[in-house]
Amino acid sequence: MTLRTGPIIRITPTELHIDDPEYHEQLYSRTGRRDKYSYFSGRFGYASDSFSTVSHDLHRLRRKALSPMFSVKKIEDFQPVIREKVEKLCQKITRYQDGQVLPLSRALMALTTDIITEYSFAKSYDQLDSPGFQDTLHEALVAIYVTGHFALHFPIVFPILDVMPEWLVRKMQPEVLPVVGMRKVNAHSNPTSSLSRRVADAEL
């Protein structure tokens, strides 16, 4: 369609489809003030978190508190842990022989989950230890992506999931239980959690 009408097409009253690589730098420029599109910002339920913050100025303040966690030095200091997890994955892959099928997508999911949880919560989920990489967040995240699209039109979905008892979520949609449980823990966590302490230490 863009070949007939040009590189920019309005696909909804509030959305444009842009097929122009040269426009990338302008569209994703780091200069200037740009608020997020509120319709998309709350698609995963927490419109008050840093990721979903609509206001440019408020997002900048929230991002500033987390920036020390993602400095070059902090990531460099964390390299030994990353290497340890990668080595653990490599050792496990070498066990797959004689035509065994390696679920690579699940293996990489386990690797990234263990790295991220170790860095964010100071406690790895140890999903690399799961036999056949079965105990990962793969199904849960796929389900959340699908639910997120639905929640664009019905934002009440995630608040309902958050207040539903665990037994009911397990019965209705068990694959989302790990993520819903994580959201509940994070929502009610003590402000002096490991992540908060790390941010405070970095600012000191």
Burial pattern 63-78, b for ≥16 Cβ within 10 A else e, equals eeeeebbeeeeeeeee
* Beta partners for residue 12, in sequence order: 15
Q: Match 């036999």 to its residue by tokens.
A: 131
- Kindly report the number of other CB atoms within 10 A of residue 109's CB atom: 19
* Per-residue model confidence (pLDDT) at position 78: 95
**Strand partners for 8:** 18
Tokens in use for 81? 């842990």
Res. 88 pLDDT band, cuts 50 70 90: very high
Selection from 38-42, 115-119, 138-142, 151-155 with the highest mean pLDDT: 115-119
Q: Burial of 168 by CB count in 10 Å (0-12 exposed, 13-18 middle, 19+ buried)?
A: exposed
Quote the pLDDT of residue 195.
40
Judged against a pLDDT cut of 50, whether residue 193 lies above it is answered with no
Reading phi first (left if > 0) and then psi (alpha if -120 to 50, else beta), residue 161 is in alpha
Tell whether the torsion through CA atoms of 172, 47, 26 and 64 is positive or negative: negative
For the stretch 122-138, pLDDT in tens is 999 999 999 999 888 88
Q: Which helix (H) or strand (E) holds 17?
A: strand 15-18
Does the pLDDT value for residue 179 go beyond 60?
A: yes
Predicted confidence at residue 191, as pLDDT, reads 41
Confidence of residue 113 (pLDDT cuts 50, 70, 90): very high
Q: Is the CB of residue 111 less than 8 Å from the CB of residue 128?
A: yes
Read off the pLDDT of each residue in 101-126 and give the average, rounded to a whole number: 93
- Apex 121 CA angle, 79 and 172, nearest 5: 125
Mean pLDDT of 74-91: 95
